[in-house]
Structure formats: structure tokens, C-alpha cells
Chains A and B, each alone.
Chain A
Amino acid sequence: MAKKQNFEASLTRLEEVVSHMEKGDLSLDDMLNYFQEGIGLVRFCEGKLKETEQKIEVLLDDWKEENE
């Protein structure tokens, strides 16, 4: 599997970011950095959810032909 940005990892990271922010001991600077990262993750995940085109591929291979 290609290790691009992946939905599950992004969601996990987003949960981490939010719980960091909720600890409440961050400086305004750090908060802004987390906030920016968090918004990026929200956008990525929502983008994935909104994809409506499905990539469907039929893998025809040698092993298949041999068997027919």
C-alpha cells in the first residue's frame, strides 16, 4: 500500500491534536500551530469523505488466465 496521507492516521492525529489543546497549558503560539495542523487534518478527512467517485479496478493476471 502506498504510504500517502491516510484517513485513519489523519483521524488519529486529529484526535491527538485536539486532546493536546484541551490540556490547556499551551502558549498562544503553540495553540496556533496545533490549530493550523488540526484544520489541515479536518480538511483532508472531509475531502476524503466527500469523494464520490470510486476507483474500481479489475485485476486480470496470468494466474487467472491459466485457470480458465
Chain B
Amino acid sequence: MPQYYTISQINGYLESKMTADPFLKTIWLKGEISNFKAHGSGHYYFSLQDKTSSLRCVMFHFYASALSFLPYNGLEVFAKGKVTVYSRDGNCQLVATEIIAAGTGDQQLALLELKEKLQEEGLFAVERKKALPLVPQAVGVITSASGAAWQDVQKVSCSRFPGIPLYLYPVLVQGENAAQSIAQAIAFANTQKKVDVLLIGRGGGAREDLAAFDTELVVRAIADSEIPVVSAVGHESDDTLADLAADCRAATPSVAAALIFPDRLELQQKIDSLQSRLLGQMQNKLDQANHYLQMAVLRGKFDQPQILLANSKQRLQEGKENLLQMEAAYLQKSQAQLALMAAKLGSLDPLTVLSRGYAYVHKKNEAKPLISPQEVEYDELIDVVLANGELQCRVTGKGGK
């Protein structure tokens, strides 16, 4: 019996061989699409062929969904990917990661290459994106001073939150010097530190007119910016490289401005709700203080303090009314008065009794009140405390009850 291998073994060997080949790892192929099929899973299956030969291709959903067009049979394309063997059936295939129409000009190819290069450097990575301030202190706009974009941003900011200062960094948005002008404005805004968010953009235009926003210079300036950048370049669905590098992207300058400027009404509602919570809490605390005072008075069981209570209740009420008018300063005063009254209440007890004509009698050198004639001798000196003063008396007679 000859030495033999199973089909899986040889297919597996071929696959590993081809995977190891650096030439087949990343390769551009030119061919015509045939047997194109977009599978329900989002993967594309097709063949690439020339006059005499054909190669099976697959493009997985992740890459297929990034294509800006749907490939079709008969279309001449450049396809990029790795060539490998599908070990199940031993067929060679291209696992494609990028397809561009062969009619594509050199410029677009160069753009794709630049995009890949910057992507590999991580300039478009999500982790790099900075958060926009909730309410910016000042907003910088980098666009043409004469363009519609600047007008639109002013309009939106005025209707949403006019209190935020707006700075225009005028630049050229198209033409030879546009990229340099934009990149310098970004760097300048970063040294100047006048604003805490930047809006970079222009109104719509053909892709060629947006060329400045597809340059390495502008992408790097955006990536290097410490100030968060919102891009708004054109109305088209495909992003410029500037859009990819920006911390946040919007379809138009107006949309970008709406992202940057918070809605005044929303904030007003938030402040209203905080204010009513603030007042509510203060009111509760005052009600509570009022309640404690009332309890203290009830424990005293005197007539006169009821008047004081009514009085202090009225003052508390005044305090509350002032509170609602946000007269916070007055509140402190009324609180002090409250404290004074509470202190008075505590000392009122014996005075009230004395003022009704009763007296408090004690021996000359003892504070203990006298309650029986047996406690004193004839001729002894005793003190009698009345509501408005004291009497010194001598005992001249005693009697039982």
C-alpha cells in the first residue's frame, strides 16, 4: 500500500501553505464580476474573471457593508484581499476586503491608500474621540467667512443658546491652499485656547470640492487638536477623511451647531426642577422647625406662651413667604428671632406663676423653697421672691394648716 494522505489533510496542508505565503496575503486583482450573489447574512459571493480564467471570491459582511456601492455582474473592478484555499472543497478563493470600480481614477486610489494608512495609525479610532462639553464656554467655527455654513451656524446658535460666544476662524475651504489654511486655523485655535469646541466645515459640494477635507494635513491637524472637533462637510453620505478623524460628525453645519449648542428650553426645565426641589427642601425644614417649636410650647402648658407661639408662627409664615420670593437674607434674620423666642420660652415657667401673685420663699442662705412652718425658728430671716422683686422678712409667728 502506497503512503497516502486524506483529502482533509492535503487541503489543510494547501491552506496552511498559502496562508504562509506573503505574496498572497495582501494582493490587488483586476477582473470582471460574475455570479454575484448577496447572501442574506450580508456576505457577498462572486467570481472574478478575465477572458480565460476565473477565481471564486467572498467578501464578508464586515467589509461588504463598508462598500459605497453594490457590485454587479459585468463590472470591472480592482479587488483587494488574500488568496487562500477553502479547505472544505479545495478551491482557491479570494477573501476580499475592498472593491473599487476599475474606472476609478488614480486620485481615488491615492485617497484609499491614504485612508488605509491613517486608519492603521489609529487616527480614526473610537478610543481617540473626545467628548463634547455639555455647555460650551465658547465655540470656534473654522469655515469660509462668506459661506452659507457660517450663516447657518449663527442662526442655529442664536435660536438655541445665544449666551455662548462664537468665534470665526476664516479659512479657504477649497482650492490649492485650503488644506493648509484649515490645518493652521486648527493649530491656531489650539494655541489661542479661546474656545472649548471647534466646528469645521462647509456647505455641500462635489467630492472634488471637498478635497481639502481629504488631505493628510487636515486629518492630522484634527487628530492633534486638544479641543474637540465637530466636522460638517457637505451633505453627502460618504465621509471625508476629516469626518473620520473628527470627534463627532454631522451631515451639515446646522446639524453640527445643534449638536454643539444645547437647547435653552431643556436647560431651563432642568434648572426649574432643581429650583423647586431646593425650595421644597427648605420649606420642609422650616415646617419641621415650626413643629418642634410647637411641641416645646405644648410641653410648657402655659397660656402666655401660646401668644408667643402665634407670634412666632406668624414670623415663620413670613419667613416662608420670603423664601418663596427668594429673600434668603431675610430668612437668616427670622431664624435668629426664632431662636431668641425659643430661648425665652424655656425661662418663662416660674415668672408666669409669680406674676399671678404667688411668692417663692426660702431661708436666707438656702435656695430650697420653704413649704412648712416647722422649717424655721422665731426671729429667723427669710427671703420672699415676688414677680417684681424680693422682700427680706423676719418670722414673728407660726400657724398650722
Residues of A within 8 A of B (CB): 1-2, 6-8, 11, 14-15, 17-18, 21-22, 26, 28-29, 31-32, 35-36, 38-39, 42-43, 45-46, 48-61, 63-64, 67-68
Q: In whole angstroms, what is the CA distance A60 to B153 when docked?
A: 19
3 tightest A-B CB contacts, nearest first = A51-B163, A55-B165, A21-B281
B358: which A residues are within 8 A, CB to CB? Answer: none
- Chain A CB within 8 A of B145 CB: yes
Q: In whole angstroms, what is the CA distance A5 to B87 when docked?
A: 67
Interface centre among A11, A38, A46 (most CB of B within 10 A): A38
Q: Specify the main secondary structure of chain A where it touches its partner.
A: helix
Assess whether B162 is in contact with A52, with CB atoms less than 8 Å apart.
Answer: yes
Assess whether A8 is in contact with B277, with CB atoms less than 8 Å apart.
Answer: no
Residues of B within 8 A of A (CB): 133-135, 137-138, 145, 154, 157-158, 161-172, 177, 180-181, 184-185, 188, 192-196, 264, 267-268, 270-271, 274-275, 277-278, 281-282, 285-286, 289, 323, 326, 328-329, 331-332, 335
Q: In whole angstroms, what is the CA distance A25 to B170 when docked?
A: 55
A14 nearest CB neighbor, chain B only: B274
Q: Specify the main secondary structure of chain B where it touches its partner.
A: helix
Q: In whole angstroms, what is the CA distance A16 to B286 when docked?
A: 21
Q: In whole angstroms, what is the CA distance A11 to B264 when docked?
A: 13
Q: In whole angstroms, what is the CA distance A17 to B278 when docked?
A: 8
B326: which A residues are within 8 A, CB to CB? Answer: 39, 43
Asked, given contacts A35-B278, A39-B278, whether A49 binds B195 with beta carbons under 8 Å apart, the answer is no
A20 nearest CB neighbor, chain B only: B281
Contact pick for B274, options A8, A42, A56, A67, CB 8 Å: A42
What 9 additional pairs, Cβ within 8 angstroms, besides A1-B137, A42-B274, A52-B163? A1-B138, A8-B134, A11-B134, A28-B286, A38-B274, A49-B271, A54-B164, A54-B165, A58-B167
Q: In whole angstroms, what is the CA distance A59 to B169 when docked?
A: 5
Q: In whole angstroms, what is the CA distance A28 to B196 when docked?
A: 40
B264: which A residues are within 8 A, CB to CB? Answer: 49
B162: which A residues are within 8 A, CB to CB? Answer: 51-54
Asked, given contacts A49-B264, A59-B169, A61-B188, whether A22 binds B281 with beta carbons under 8 Å apart, the answer is yes
A64: which B residues are within 8 A, CB to CB? Answer: 169-171, 181, 185
Interface centre among B134, B154, B162, B323 (most CB of A within 10 A): B162
Assess whether B281 is in contact with A31, with CB atoms less than 8 Å apart.
Answer: yes
